Chain A
Amino acid sequence: MIKVLTAGALATVQDLGRTGALNLGVGTSGAMDPLALAGGNILLRNEENAAAIEIPVFPFKVRFERATVFAVTGADCAARLDETSLLPWWAYRAEAGQVLSLSLPKPGTWRATRAYLCIADGIDVPVVLGSRSTQLRGSFGGHEGRALRDGDELRAGRPNGRAVPGFGLMPPGLSLPLQADGVPAVRVLPAAEYDCFTDSSQEALWSTAWKITAQSDRYGYRLAGEVLNPRRRLELRSHGIVPGVIQVPHGGQPIIQMRDAQPSGGYPKIGTVIEADLWRLGQAPIGSSVRFIRCSWDEALGALADVRHWFANARRLVELHCGEGGGR
């Protein structure tokens, strides 16, 4: 049992997302940085899809009402357990009554903006339409279909006694770097209306940096940069879209659809950030810049394979370590 003392804003219970409900108009939701959520679960020997708390705004504070093994992954947010400084991406045991405090991430060797509090056996909220992720629009899933508030109490899943404290994981932000000219980058596949944009707009997409404006959140990232112009005015029919789609409304400034985006839309699509790189966007802070790298289908599949390999390798080494009775 965890009691939320300081919820900050926009902290939500998420898992890896809700699939199979697009025909009801229900999008994926899920963690903005799925590698951090799954990484924390792997560290705690949970199933990868166990629910955790996504924390985008700090400070954030919870009290453990029972002894709990936990890990804080994603951004390094100067975590403290009572007065003790904690390491990021590390499994710890809290005793009943101890308070975990997370603060604003400071610049370190990896720029990130969202933290994930993962606990042994996962956060136990009801499964709705196949997932524990919070569906903010429509107010269901997660914890009561809303962001966390001070005073909320969250339960842990049924204990399986597998988690072992006292070791950590290398953050994938360091193991899987991707930059273009020193700027964090993501790979993009051109989308249906790519060829409808002018040559100079296409060039601008790939060669200039895009700033993530303050009007960016789980629904979408509004970018500031060069104005992207179609060769002629485009008016499209409503069609299905997915997180990562880069829409260009009439103003010419792109919007990247993120986890809570509508599952359909009608603005022209110039490209789609590949699924394997969405976690990088999920950790890009407001005010930071990103670059888009054009990739091929095969390269996109290769990127997915790299991520899967990272998970599998992490799981294998964690099992080896815990199985040997390690983790002192």
Chain B
Amino acid sequence: MTTDRPHVSLLGTTALLFEAPGETTLETQRRIWALARDAAGFAGVREAVPGMNNLMLAFAEPPRRPEEIEQRLVERWNVVEPLPIAGRCIDLPVVYGGEAGPHMADVVEHTGMHVDEIVERHSAPTYTVFALGSHPGYCYLGGMDARIATPRRKVPVLKIPRGAVSIGGSQTGVSASDGPSGWNTIGSTEVAFFDVNRSPPALLQPGDSIRFKAVRVLR
């Protein structure tokens, strides 16, 4: 859902959500990273958490007047410069389709493309890590080919496994652990995205990038 100006809304008294206008782009995401860095220092904010071209501010203490912090955010947004983070790039070996990709058929049906074309379009780009969220170590990636976009499932699936490579709407990502998801799983990888004993525990952070390498396509 795109808008022509930023939109700020409340998530109860626990947080507020800032949505950047326009299409989802890396340029906008760099400005979101910059805005997050600024907003993390606002009074009453415990954590500034980037999403896909949006930003959630989790309150340590909810403000008496949320309009003031909303206005401050919009004013910062209007002037903030993109943060030029360039992290590391890793290659992820992926088995696509078959048992590794139980919802490949739904993507085929929605897009009208053949499995091989979907695999090629999915594994061609270098994806930038826009944000972490969803579950420990999970990376939201930007740069997916819009032609393989497939809507989230009507009913979320109760459990998809760690390593599942999925498409939800116009986004793609890799599950870092077993759990429920509304996305369409098209493949599987073995790489560990989160280890609580490691420092830092998450494998990747915003500004890093990923390339999917198709090692097998099951039919």
Spell out A's residues near B (CB within 8 Å).
Answer: 19-20, 22-27, 128-129, 135, 137-141, 189-192, 219, 234-245, 249-251, 262-267, 269, 272-276, 297, 300-301, 304
Q: Which of A22, A140, A244 contacts B49 (CB 8 A)?
A: A22
In the complex formed, the residue of A with least CB distance to B201 is A24
Known: A24-B202, A219-B180, A266-B168. A238 touches B51 (CB 8 A): yes
Q: B201 contacts which chain A residues (CB < 8 A)? A: 24, 129
Known: A25-B135, A263-B133, A264-B133. A242 touches B58 (CB 8 A): yes
Whether B58 lies near A272 (C-beta < 8 A) is no
Provide 11 A-B residue pairs closer than 8 Å at the C-beta atoms, listed in order of the A residue: A20-B47, A25-B136, A138-B136, A139-B177, A241-B11, A242-B14, A262-B134, A266-B182, A273-B12, A274-B12, A275-B14
Known: A189-B12, A192-B9, A266-B152. A236 touches B1 (CB 8 A): yes
Q: Which of A249, A264, A273, A275 contacts B51 (CB 8 A)?
A: A264
Q: Which of A24, A137, A242 contacts B178 (CB 8 A)?
A: A137
Q: Which of A135, A191, A304 contacts B11 (CB 8 A)?
A: A191
Chain A CB within 8 A of B110 CB: no
Q: Which of A138, A244, A273 contacts B196 (CB 8 A)?
A: A138
Whether A301 lies near B62 (C-beta < 8 A) is yes
Q: B182 contacts which chain A residues (CB < 8 A)? A: 249, 266-267
In the complex formed, the residue of A with least CB distance to B154 is A250
Q: B7 contacts which chain A residues (CB < 8 A)? A: 192
In the complex formed, the residue of B with least CB distance to A250 is B154
Known: A22-B133, A25-B202, A266-B182. A192 touches B19 (CB 8 A): yes
Q: Which of A26, A240, A251, A272 contacts B136 (CB 8 A)?
A: A26
Q: B155 contacts which chain A residues (CB < 8 A)? A: 249, 251
Residue among B131, B133, B171, B202 having the largest count of chain A Cβ atoms under 10 Å:
B133
What is the distance, in angstroms, from B193's C-beta to the closest C-beta of chain A?
9
Chain A CB within 8 A of B127 CB: no
Whether B12 lies near A242 (C-beta < 8 A) is yes
Give Cα A250 to B155, complex, Å.
Answer: 8
What is the distance, in angstroms, from A317's C-beta to the closest C-beta of chain B?
25
Give Cα A192 to B169, complex, Å.
Answer: 19
Give Cα A23 to B152, complex, Å.
Answer: 23
Q: Which of A20, A24, A297 contacts B10 (CB 8 A)?
A: A297
Q: A240 contacts which chain B residues (CB < 8 A)? A: 11, 15, 17, 49, 51, 54-56, 58, 133
Chain A CB within 8 A of B96 CB: no
Whether A25 lies near B169 (C-beta < 8 A) is no
Q: A244 contacts which chain B residues (CB < 8 A)? A: 11-12, 14
Whether B13 lies near A297 (C-beta < 8 A) is yes
What is the distance, in angstroms, from A9's C-beta to the closest C-beta of chain B?
16
Contact with A along B175-219 (1 / 0, CB 8 A): 011111010000000000010100011100000000000000000
Whether A137 lies near B52 (C-beta < 8 A) is no
Chain A CB within 8 A of B151 CB: yes
Whether A25 lies near B132 (C-beta < 8 A) is yes
Give Cα A237 to B32, complex, Å.
Answer: 14
Give Cα A25 to B58, complex, Å.
Answer: 13
In the complex formed, the residue of A with least CB distance to B40 is A23
Known: A139-B177, A234-B1, A272-B12. A262 touches B133 (CB 8 A): yes
Question: Closest 8 A-B residue pairs measured CB to CB?
Answer: A240-B56, A264-B133, A272-B12, A192-B9, A239-B51, A138-B136, A237-B52, A140-B196
